[in-house]
């Protein structure tokens, strides 16, 4: 281990064999590596970085040491991963949409991290919905409805768990090679043939600078290429919360409204684009689409507009219904969400203090605000309140008059509502002029072809 740390400290490169031995030693059950040596190596990586070959080798070693999934008996399986944002309920509407298009989706999702929400926490706001599934339960649900979402078990990529815990407490989270290896090792172990990455950038993302998000996206697409997976990365804006809802039950309700064809425009645009990218990835992996259920055009010229029309047929909502019931929830949540989801005792409008145009959202702080209300965790032991959160009623560039509501605050108490209203008023800026340009929701899509071109 001393030699391994020294190699990186002096700017050398690790061989794949050395990285594999490091990962094996990291998770060895008899005498795992001491934290201080692993932390020293992580810090050396932050200063000296990993080159691409090292990053790919680290990813493969992390994925290989632990349980891996194989869905080959089910067919070509496509996964989607978001790097995390505020109001990001994408998976909950996208996965049933893609499954309804005839493409199997098997997915391991995560919990809330920092100011960002987590798909598992959101799904658990549907009463009795379970994300703790055995491999055979996952296979049975996937075969039955073309879609399954579960929490990662401890035996999958245990190296990521060990490394992440140390990165978190040694300020070594934000190295792009380490992030790429962390994400891609879990995707590879999850067994998907193709992966669409939703790489967020901007105020409400982990990567605030576009260049960093792009570099992360490039690295992950290239790792996919190296490891025989077809990967596309969509760079999407987190300059404002996605859609309207921020908070666990509120986001489930918004995902359902979207599957009912009544969702916010930006959210519908994002899921239709990601669904289209997943179709491309599925086809590139050799997935058959000749018997796919899209009616408006044949598979060769399936457009994003076709997917949008398909969303409005309600077929994706039917898949959602079946999926919820197979994972333990009541399928009627698909028609009457508020008969099942937890509601907050206090719902209060947040009035605009000035007239003008919405020029800025402090998106990260809005995520923090909802976390502080109980929508996220500050310690591992915290219990979430699924009912709390916000429903934003304005987006960037909208005109507002003083006194008009900017948002609805869903709070656990009158005191929490009052404090949240005051905080939110300071996090949404209203200026005299409409911003000259608004950030595009989707900035760019990277594929292995676009990288080599």
The number of residues that bind ligand URA (CB under 6 A) is 3
Euclidean distance between CA atoms 151 and 108, whole angstroms: 5
By CB under 6 A, name the one of 138, 179, 369, 427 that touches ligand URA.
Answer: 179
For ligand URA, the closer CB: 183 or 317:
183
Residue 182 touching ligand URA (CB under 6 A): yes
In the complex with ligand URA, which residue's Cβ is closer, 151 or 264?
A: 151
Question: Is 167 noted as a catalytic residue in this protein?
Answer: yes
Binding span for ligand URA by CB under 6 A among 14-22, 179-187, 264-272, 293-301: 179-187
Tell me the window of 178-186, 270-278, 301-309, 324-332 that interacts with ligand URA (CB under 6 A).
Answer: 178-186
CB 253 within 8 A of CB 338: yes
**Which residue in the set 183, 220, 307, 441 belongs to the binding site for ligand URA (CB under 6 A)?**
183
- Comparing CB distances to ligand URA, the nearer of 75 and 87 is 87
Look up 186 and say whether it is catalytic: yes
Q: Which is nearer to ligand URA, 176 or 316 (CB)?
A: 176
CB of 365 to ligand URA, least distance (A): 20
Residue with CB nearest ligand URA? 182
**In the complex with ligand URA, which residue's Cβ is closer, 50 or 317?**
50
What is the token pair recorded at 217? 């996206």
The piece of 175-183, 225-233, 323-331, 404-412 that touches ligand URA (CB under 6 A) is 175-183
Residue 160 annotated among the catalytic residues of the structure: yes
Q: What is the dihedral of CA 271, 275, 277, 278, to 10 degrees?
A: 130
157 lies in the binding site for ligand URA (CB under 6 A): no
Using CA atoms, how far apart are residues 443 and 122, in angstroms rounded to an integer? 27
Our finding on whether 59 is near ligand URA (CB under 6 A) is: no
Q: Does 193 bind ligand URA (CB under 6 A)?
A: no
Choice between 364 and 391, CB closer to ligand URA? 364
From 160, 198, 266, 385, the catalytic residue: 160
Let me know if 200 is a catalytic residue. Answer: no
- The minimum distance between CB 165 and ligand URA, in angstroms, equals 11
Nearer to ligand URA, 214 or 321 (CB): 214
What are phi and psi for residue 387, nearest 5 degrees? -80, -25
Catalytic residue from among 8, 14, 186, 364: 186
Residue of 80, 139, 167, 391 marked active site: 167
Provide the annotated active-site residues: 81, 160, 167, 182, 186
Chain residues in the site for ligand URA (CB under 6 A): 179, 182-183
């Amino acid at each position: 281990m001393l030699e391994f740390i020294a190699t990186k400290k002096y700017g050398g490169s690790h061989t794949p064999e050395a990285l594999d031995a490091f990962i094996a030693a990291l998770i060895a059950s008899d005498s795992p590596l001491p934290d201080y040596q692993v932390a020293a190596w992580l810090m050396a990586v932050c200063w000296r970085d990993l080159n691409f070959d090292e990053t790919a080798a680290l990813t493969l070693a992390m994925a290989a040491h632990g349980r891996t999934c194989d869905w080959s008996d089910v067919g070509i399986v496509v996964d989607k991963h978001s790097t995390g944002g505020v109001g990001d309920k994408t998976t909950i509407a996208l996965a049933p949409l893609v499954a309804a298009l005839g493409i199997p989706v098997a997915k391991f999702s995560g919990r809330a991290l920092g100011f960002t929400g987590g798909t598992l926490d959101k799904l658990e706001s549907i009463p009795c919905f379970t994300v703790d599934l055995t491999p055979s339960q996952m296979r049975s649900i996937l075969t039955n409805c073309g879609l399954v979402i579960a929490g990662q078990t401890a035996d999958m990529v245990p190296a990521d768990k060990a490394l992440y815990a140390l990165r978190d407490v040694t300020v070594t989270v934000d190295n792009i090679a380490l992030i790429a290896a962390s994400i891609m090792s879990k995707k590879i172990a999850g067994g998907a043939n193709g992966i669409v990455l939703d790489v967020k950038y901007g105020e409400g993302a982990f990567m605030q600078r576009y260049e960093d998000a792009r570099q992360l996206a490039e690295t992950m697409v290239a790792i996919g290429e190296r490891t025989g997976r077809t990967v596309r990365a969509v760079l999407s804006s987190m300059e404002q919360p996605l859609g309207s809802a921020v908070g666990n039950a509120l986001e489930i309700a918004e995902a359902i409204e979207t599957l009912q064809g009544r969702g916010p425009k930006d959210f519908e645009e994002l899921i239709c684009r990601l669904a289209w990218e997943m179709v491309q990835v599925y086809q590139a992996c050799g997935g058959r689409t000749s018997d796919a259920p899209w009616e408006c055009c044949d598979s060769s010229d399936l457009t994003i507009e076709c997917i949008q029309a398909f969303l409005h047929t309600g077929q994706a909502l039917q898949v959602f219904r079946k999926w919820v019931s197979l994972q333990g929830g009541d399928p009627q949540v698909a028609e009457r969400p508020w008969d099942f989801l937890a509601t907050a005792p206090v719902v209060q409008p947040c009035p605009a203090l000035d007239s003008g145009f919405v020029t800025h959202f402090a998106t990260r702080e809005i995520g923090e605000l909802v976390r502080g209300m109980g929508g996220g965790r500050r310690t591992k032991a915290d219990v979430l309140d699924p009912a709390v959160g916000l429903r934003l009623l304005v987006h960037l560039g909208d005109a507002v008059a003083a006194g008009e509501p900017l948002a609805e605050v869903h709070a656990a108490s009158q005191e929490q509502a009052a404090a949240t209203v005051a905080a939110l008023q300071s996090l949404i800026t209203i200026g005299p002029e409409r911003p000259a340009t608004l950030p595009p929701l989707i900035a760019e899509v990277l594929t292995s072809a676009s990288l080599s071109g």
